[in-house]
Structure formats: structure tokens, C-alpha cells
Chains A and B, each alone.
Chain A
Amino acid sequence: MKRGLILWLPLALVVLLLALFWAGLHKDENHDIASQMVGKPLPAFAAPAALPGLPGASAADFRDGQPRLLNVFASWCVPCVAEVPVLMQMKGMGVEVVGIAVHDTAPALAEFLGKNGNPYSRIGSDDQSRIQLALGSSGVPETFVIDGQGKIVKQHIGVVGEDDIPELLALLGQKP
């Protein structure tokens, strides 16, 4: 009898396996990966000024009680151009945007801002992508919402579009 039961074991395992496949086929097609950084404090960093005349950025700047946007970008990044008008629009609504320029140079940056406009109150230079990596960001552009205590509230991957403004404003604690 005991041997008889063991013989059914393979079938039972396969039924389990097929049930798993069945569930896998019917899961909702949500491929978004939740950011691991949300809820965590900003990693400590102090980035030197990327452009003469505009201050650099450090994690300490974000702990004065005022929520801000932290925008990881680069002058060589083509999609970044597309989000400048949106950031300018938010700047007009009183949002402070701090930039982290990845792998950039002052002349290239000056040209980029001259051509597209400057939404940033300060821009830190991140030569080696160290700050970018510490932020858990794998590409440009990415935008973080930081609350007044220096905690990350949201990580937005890719270009910020006009549709994203209401959500970002809400997270920043502002009325549209």
C-alpha cells in the first residue's frame, strides 16, 4: 500500500506545478516594479556645483521642512530635453527643483540650460554616477519627490509629462 501511494506522488507534484502555471498565466499584467527607495531617507551626498553661479546640492538641503523635487538628468540625454518645459511649469507653480547632473561638463550644461531654459534652483555635479547609484537610479531622467524631512516619497522613472503634474503636486503637498 505504501509503495502504491508513492507512485501517485509524481502526478500530485505535476498537478501542483500546472496549478502554478495556471495562476502565472492569469496574473495581472502589471510589470511595474515598486521602487525600493520609497520611504527611505535620502542617502548622504554632497555634490559640488556643476555650473558656476548656481549652488551645488547636498542631502542636508532637503531637511528644512520644504518638500522638493530632485531631478537626475544630463545635458547629453535627449529625453531630458522633453521634460524641461514641464519642470519649468512646476517651477512656475512654486515647486523647487534640484538637479543632479550625471557625467556632465559645465560648458555642455550651460548650453543645455541656455537652449531649453533652467528650472533648477541648484545643480550638483555627479561625475562618476555615484549619487545616481546611491539613489537607486539606473538611468536619466529620473525624478524623486523628497518630503521636508529628507525622505523619498516617490521615484519617477523616465520623462515627467504634463499628466504627472497633479500627482507630483499632491505628493509635494501643494494644491494644483
Chain B
Amino acid sequence: MIAEAGLAALWFAAALALAQLVLGALATSEARSELRSSIAPVAIVQALFVVTAFFCLIAVFMRSDMSVLLVAENSHSAKPMIYKIAGTWGNHEGSMLLWVTILGVAGATIALFERKLRADTKVATLAAQGAIALGFYAFLLFASNPFARIAGVIEGRGLNPLLQDPGLAFHPPTLYAGYVGMSAAFSFAVGALVTRNVGPEFARAMRPWILGAWIFLTIGITAGSYWSYYTLGWGGWWFWDPVENASLMPWLAATALIHSVTVLATRDGLRAWTIMLAVLAFSMSMVGTFLVRSGILTSVHSFAVDPRRGVFILELLAIYIGGALTLFALRVGTVNEGTRFDPFSREAALVANNLLLTVILIVVMAGTLYPLALEGLTGAKISVGAPYFNSVVGPLALVLMVIIAIGPLLRWRSDRPALLLRRVAPALLAGGIALAVLIALAGPIGLLPLFGLAVAALVAVASLAPLWKRNLRRTPLFTYGMVIAHFGCAVSIAGMACEGAFTKENLVAVKAGETQPIGPFSVTFAGLRELPGPNYAALEGVLLVARGQGKPWVMAPQLRQFTDPPMLTNQAAIKTFWNGQLYLTIGEKEIEGRWLLRMWWKPFVTLIWLGGALIALGGALALLGRVRRDLTAKRVAGAAA
């Protein structure tokens, strides 16, 4: 019954999305402006229906209702409850339902809270949001029904053990909130093009929505990076896997967008470019969804593949991206170019930032799709890996970091080099000292980590400079946001550089009782013990770890043998110190009484994710600051009237 209710709710939501599209398209014209008031309720009720459908799916997973095909294929009654719930989106259909749920909620949130946008633009925006939702509802209903029934199944096949981790509970939802939240930017851009309303007003209205989605995207990527780091047992934090790249590409576009939208809001410049980026950011999200869901690229994230689904999503991509870009080509020519600006100014630095982010985006995209193109053209099968990405993206990222350091210290409109130099002098000094100290003391650590650390020092100091000699209590919250986000970039780059430069690795085959060194630690293999888990059997290596002559402690990496489905996973033992992480895994089998032990000492690796968290926090403060200022402005206006 619950499954049928969910399916019905999904159909209702689809019907309402159609209504939203049609009503919105009609009401955009002044002649039918009386229809405008009906759009918001439609968007809200649509969201209620799709949320209902989503909760129905969670309910059948919680009840382990094996008469639902999706549950039978992906769940198991013996699974812990949290993985029954999180398993709802650990499969193709469920994750697509989560996707449209967030889409519906995003539309309803715009309908409820967007007050600054001109009425006709808001209506057109909601119509665009309805159009996107309609296509993806159709995809679910016709090609990926999550509520399909099956007869005669008693027990489910279980969830991929790699996904049986608390990470599944929050990584996909936050990442999707970011991915799909970008639909707001896309719909705003379409709305603005349709109603010829591109300007500072529009930019100020759009900015909080992009910031919100961007925060989720940042958290999602950071959390995903940490999740794969501790769950896969490879000791790496980023693998340039096609699907990681698919999440990085919208983030790069969105990061460019939140900077260009500031130019549009503050100085009325970069009109066409901002619209282009808004379309691009969500297009990248949809391309990412396509890459993951079609199985066109091989990745750790691919679920079961059905080529018809790929074709369906591809058609949706053609309609939405093609449609938006056609509209762009037709309309943007009629948009004024906006204000011109001096080549030595804050605006110019933001343009440089945008160009670099776009180049990085193209580099990542080229590397991700090159194997596909080459196979299409010549049949050759290759894969593009870390050496390409690191050596191309790395230097570009460092140049971008220098711009991050300088940009906020430039004045709007125009500035003088001598004045700028005085403002960045402390930061340059910090970077120079870091470089000199590293060259003198650290030994050969590679050019990229060397400059990475120097640039991190430069940015860390420069990012705090906008607060210099300011009344800290009167500094707006969004300035703090910028400072913290840029400081987070420095922290994250420092973590990446330290990981690259100072990581120690030791791969040894040990017998019980043997001791091996790793970094400042010594690790003694005491033996193995068997432990029963809730739905697996674990073989645990007992390792006694000591630092110098200090008191030893126990670390216990595990091999977990799951039965439904049968699969062996490797659970690393990780201990975090203030200055790094010790990361231990054991190999899968015994060879002549010896067990393979893989040990890493990764100094300051945690800074990578701390930096990511700071970037997201900075975004959140900026969002809060903008929203608060809007509310205050409205109160003041209200009092004046």
C-alpha cells in the first residue's frame, strides 16, 4: 500500500510540475498577470507530494518490504536500521528520487522566500523550475520506477558493503542538495533571459540561492573526499575518479559564479558572463548525473547500468542545456554589456579568477572525457589519471591562489599598483619566508608541494588583511565570510601540499611479534582476533603502536567479510593527532604466516578537510550576512513608509 501511495504521489507531483510550467509560461506576460498568484501554491504543493513519495520509499525500506523490487535488490532484513534508511538512496532509483525531491523543495523554497525578484521574472523562474522537474519526474515514472513490485521474494540481496557506512547517510544528500540546488541558478538565468531582466537587482536576488547550493556542494565534496579516504583503505583523498570530477566541475562553475555575480550586483558588469555561468553550473550538475547514472564512464560510483536510462537522461540534457543556450544566444545579445572597468581593479581580479576557474574546469572536463572521445574515434582504451590532473590543475590552482590573495585587497573601479603593493607586502613576506624556510630545511619535496606551502602562507596572511585596521564589530558578516573562505583555501592547499610532500609509507609483511617503524611511530603486530559484526564477520589485526618510548596503544584495522552480498572490505584503523594522521590497513590474506601491513603517516592531512569545512563556513556566513542585510533593509524601508 505504501509503495502505491508513493507512486501516486509521484504522479501528482509530475502533474503539478506540468501545471507550474504551463501557468508560469502564461503568467509571464503582463496580459495574464492575474495568474501569477497561483504559481507559488502549485510549486509548494508539488514539493509536498514529492517529499511524500520520498518518505514512502524510506518507509518501505525501513519495513524491509521485499515485495518492492528496489528493496529486494538493494536491502536486507538483517541490516542495521540506519543502513536500511540510508540504503534508500544507495541505488539508482532511490538516488534519482532524492534528486527530484530536492528539486521540488528548491522550487518551493524559491516560491516561499524569494521577495526581491521582479514578479514576472520570478514567475518565469518557477516555470523553468517546473520544466526541469517535469522531465526528471518523467524519467522516474517511465524509466526508473522506484516503487515497482515483485512477487515471491523472501529476502533481499543486500547493500554493497562499501556503502554500509555512516558516510552514506549524509554524503549523497548534501552533495545532491548542492547539485540540484544549482537548478535555482539555472532557472533564475532562464527567467531573467525570458523577461529581459539582467542587472544588479536580479544578481542580488539570485546570490543567496547560489551561495546556499554552493555551501552544500562544498560540504558534499569535502565529506565525500574524507569518506573515500577512510573507507576505501587506499590512503588517498582524491582519485580523479570520473564521478569525483563530475562533482568538482559544477563546484568550479559555481565558485566562478558566486564571484561574477558579485561583480554584477556591485558594479553592474559581466552580465552575459554571469548568465552563462549560471546555466553552466547546473548543466555541469546534470552532466554529472548523466555520467554517474548512464554508466558511460567506469567509476566506483556506477550502479547497475541500463543504456535506455542513459538515452533518456541524454535527451533531458539536450532539451534543458540546449534550450537554455539557445535562449542565451537569442536573448543575451539584447542585454547591455554592463559597466566597463579598469584593468587594475577588484573587478579585473574577479575576471581573472573566473577565467582561471573556467580553464581548470575545461582541463578537468577534458581529462574526464578524453578516454571516451578517444575510444569513439580510434577504439583505443586508455584512462587518464592523477599524473595528468595533478600536473595541469596543480600549477593553475597555485596561480588562482595568488589571485585569491590579491583580489580582495584591490579596490573596486580602479586602483594603483603602489598602493596594492603596500597592502600585500606582509603576505608576500610570509610567502617568501615560508619558501626560504622550506628550501633550507625540508629537503627535496617536489616543486608543487613546495610552492603549494609557500602560496598557502601567502594566502593565509593575505586573506586576513581585509580585516586589518577595521572596526571588527562593524565589519559586515559577509566580509568575515569571504575572509574565512579564503583562509580555508590556504588551509586546504597547505594540507594537500603536506600530504604530498611529507607522507611516509611502509609496506611490510609481518609475523606476530614483529615491530616495524612508520614515521615517528613503531608498530608491533600482536596477532589477529575474530569479531562478529551485526551483518559481517571481522578479522581484526591487533597492532600495538608507540611513539618513541611512550606508552603503546592499540589500533585495529579490520577485514570485514559480508555475506549479503558476499564481499570483503578493508577497514582502516586511523588515529588523528594534532599534526597528522596514522593510517593502518592489513592485507587480505596470509602468506607463509605473514600478514601484509600497509602503514601511512600523513602529516597535517586533516587540514585538507578542515579547509573544506572553513570554505563552507565562510559561504554560510556570507549567506547569513546577505540575508540579514536584506531583512534590515526591508525593516528600514517599512519604517520609512
| 9-residue interface stretch from B10-18, B93-101, B172-180, B323-331 | B323-331
Most buried by A among B287, B311, B376: B376
Quick check: A24 and B376 within 8 Å, CB to CB?
Answer: yes
Q: What are 29 A-B interface contacts by the 8 Å CB criterion?
A: A4-B333, A7-B328, A7-B329, A7-B333, A8-B329, A10-B280, A10-B329, A11-B322, A11-B325, A11-B326, A11-B328, A14-B283, A14-B325, A18-B314, A18-B317, A18-B318, A18-B322, A20-B373, A21-B290, A21-B310, A21-B372, A24-B296, A24-B376, A25-B294, A25-B307, A25-B311, A25-B314, A27-B375, A103-B591
> In the assembled complex, which residues on chain A have CB atoms less than 8 Å from the CB atom of B375?
24, 27
> In the assembled complex, which residues on chain B have CB atoms less than 8 Å from the CB atom of A27?
375-376
Nearest Cβ distance between residue B430 and chain A, in whole angstroms? 40
**A11, B296: Cα distance in complex, Å:** 22
At the interface, yes or no: A133 with Cβ under 8 Å from chain B?
no
At the interface, yes or no: A170 with Cβ under 8 Å from chain B?
no
**A4, B592: Cα distance in complex, Å:** 72
Nearest Cβ distance between residue A95 and chain B, in whole angstroms? 31
Instruction: List residues of A (94-140) whose CB comes within 8 Å of B's CBs.
Output: 103, 105
Given A20-B369, A20-B376, A21-B296: A10 touches B322 (CB 8 Å cut-off): no
At the interface, yes or no: B103 with Cβ under 8 Å from chain A?
no
At the interface, yes or no: A15 with Cβ under 8 Å from chain B?
yes
Residue of A nearest to B380 (CB): A34
> In the assembled complex, which residues on chain A have CB atoms less than 8 Å from the CB atom of B102?
none
> In the assembled complex, which residues on chain A have CB atoms less than 8 Å from the CB atom of B372?
20-21, 24
Instruction: List residues of A (1-30) whose CB comes within 8 Å of B's CBs.
Output: 3-4, 7-8, 10-11, 14-15, 17-18, 20-27
Quick check: A76 and B314 within 8 Å, CB to CB?
Answer: no
Could you give, for residues 244-284 of chain B, a 1 whenever the CB lies within 8 Å of some chain A CB and a 0 otherwise?
00000000000000000000000000001000100110010
At the interface, yes or no: B381 with Cβ under 8 Å from chain A?
yes
Question: Taking beta carbons and an 8 Å cutoff, which residues of A are in contact with B?
Answer: 3-4, 7-8, 10-11, 14-15, 17-18, 20-27, 33, 76, 103, 105
- Classify chain B's interface size: 20 to 34
At the interface, yes or no: B404 with Cβ under 8 Å from chain A?
no
> In the assembled complex, which residues on chain A have CB atoms less than 8 Å from the CB atom of B332?
7
Nearest Cβ distance between residue A134 and chain B, in whole angstroms? 20
At the interface, yes or no: B62 with Cβ under 8 Å from chain A?
no
Given A7-B328, A25-B296: A76 touches B369 (CB 8 Å cut-off): no
At the interface, yes or no: B617 with Cβ under 8 Å from chain A?
no
Residue of A nearest to B589 (CB): A76
> Considering the complex of A and B, which 6 residue pairs feature the smallest CB-CB distances, nearest first?
A11-B325, A7-B329, A23-B376, A24-B296, A25-B310, A8-B329
At the interface, yes or no: B321 with Cβ under 8 Å from chain A?
yes
Residue of B nearest to A7 (CB): B329
Residue of B nearest to A10 (CB): B325
> In the assembled complex, which residues on chain A have CB atoms less than 8 Å from the CB atom of B322?
11, 14-15, 18
**A59, B546: Cα distance in complex, Å:** 48
> In the assembled complex, which residues on chain B have CB atoms less than 8 Å from the CB atom of A18?
314, 317-318, 321-322
> In the assembled complex, which residues on chain B have CB atoms less than 8 Å from the CB atom of A17?
287, 369
Quick check: B314 and A22 within 8 Å, CB to CB?
Answer: yes
> In the assembled complex, which residues on chain B have CB atoms less than 8 Å from the CB atom of A105?
592
Quick check: A10 and B311 within 8 Å, CB to CB?
Answer: no
**A93, B290: Cα distance in complex, Å:** 52
> In the assembled complex, which residues on chain B have CB atoms less than 8 Å from the CB atom of A76?
591
**A22, B325: Cα distance in complex, Å:** 19
> In the assembled complex, which residues on chain A have CB atoms less than 8 Å from the CB atom of B325?
10-11, 14
Nearest Cβ distance between residue B306 and chain A, in whole angstroms? 11
**A4, B373: Cα distance in complex, Å:** 29
Nearest Cβ distance between residue B193 and chain A, in whole angstroms? 12
> In the assembled complex, which residues on chain A have CB atoms less than 8 Å from the CB atom of B591?
76, 103
> In the assembled complex, which residues on chain A have CB atoms less than 8 Å from the CB atom of B329?
7-8, 10-11
Quick check: B314 and A21 within 8 Å, CB to CB?
Answer: yes
> In the assembled complex, which residues on chain B have CB atoms less than 8 Å from the CB atom of A4?
333
**A23, B376: Cα distance in complex, Å:** 7
Given contacts A10-B276, A10-B329, A11-B329, 18 further A-B contacts (CB under 8 A): A7-B329, A10-B325, A11-B322, A11-B326, A11-B328, A15-B322, A17-B287, A17-B369, A18-B317, A18-B322, A20-B369, A21-B296, A21-B310, A21-B314, A21-B317, A24-B372, A25-B311, A33-B381
Instruction: List residues of B (283-318) whose CB comes within 8 Å of A's CBs.
Output: 283, 287, 290, 294, 296, 307, 310-311, 314, 317-318
**A164, B18: Cα distance in complex, Å:** 57
Residue of A nearest to B331 (CB): A7
**A15, B321: Cα distance in complex, Å:** 9
**A20, B372: Cα distance in complex, Å:** 8
> In the assembled complex, which residues on chain B have CB atoms less than 8 Å from the CB atom of A14?
283, 321-322, 325
Residue of A nearest to B295 (CB): A25
> In the assembled complex, which residues on chain A have CB atoms less than 8 Å from the CB atom of B328?
7, 10-11
> In the assembled complex, which residues on chain A have CB atoms less than 8 Å from the CB atom of B314?
18, 21-22, 25
> In the assembled complex, which residues on chain A have CB atoms less than 8 Å from the CB atom of B318?
18
**A80, B296: Cα distance in complex, Å:** 34
**A3, B337: Cα distance in complex, Å:** 11
**A125, B326: Cα distance in complex, Å:** 66
